[in-house]
Amino acid sequence: TQLLEQSPQFLSIQEGENLTVYCNSSSVFSSLQWYRQEPGEGPVLLVTVVTGGEVKKLKRLTFQFGDARKDSSLHITAAQPGDTGLYLCAGADGQNFVFGPGTRLSVLP
C-alpha cells in the first residue's frame, strides 16, 4: 500500500509570513496533486504535477515535484488569512490514488 506523509501536521503563522509544507513517500508516483480543504467543505484541487523536478506557480503558491517523483513541496509566500485550511497531497501510481493526512494551516491576521 502506498503511503504519503505530510509535514508539519499543524502550522500556525502570522499574516505576511512565508511557509513550506511537505509531502513525502518512499514510493514513486506518476502524478501528484495538492488540494485545499476549508472547514465544512470538500477538498478543492489546486494543482497537478507530473514531471520530476517540475515547478508550478499559482499566484503566491509554488509547487514542486521531486526529481525522483517521491515527494513534493508547497511554498506559500506572504500568507494571508484566506490561505487557512487543510492542505492535502494525493498521489497516483497507475494503480492507486492515495491521500496524505494533510497539513492544517492557520494564518492569523
Q: Which residues bind another protein (CB under 8 A)?
A: 30-31, 33, 35, 40-45, 48, 50, 88, 90, 92-102
Q: Which is nearer to another protein, 48 or 73 (CB)?
A: 48
Shortest Cβ distance from residue 79 to another protein (Å)?
A: 23
Q: Which is nearer to another protein, 77 or 104 (CB)?
A: 104
Q: How many helices, marked H, and strands, marked E, lie in the chain?
A: 0, 11
β-bridge pairing 10-14 and 103-108: parallel
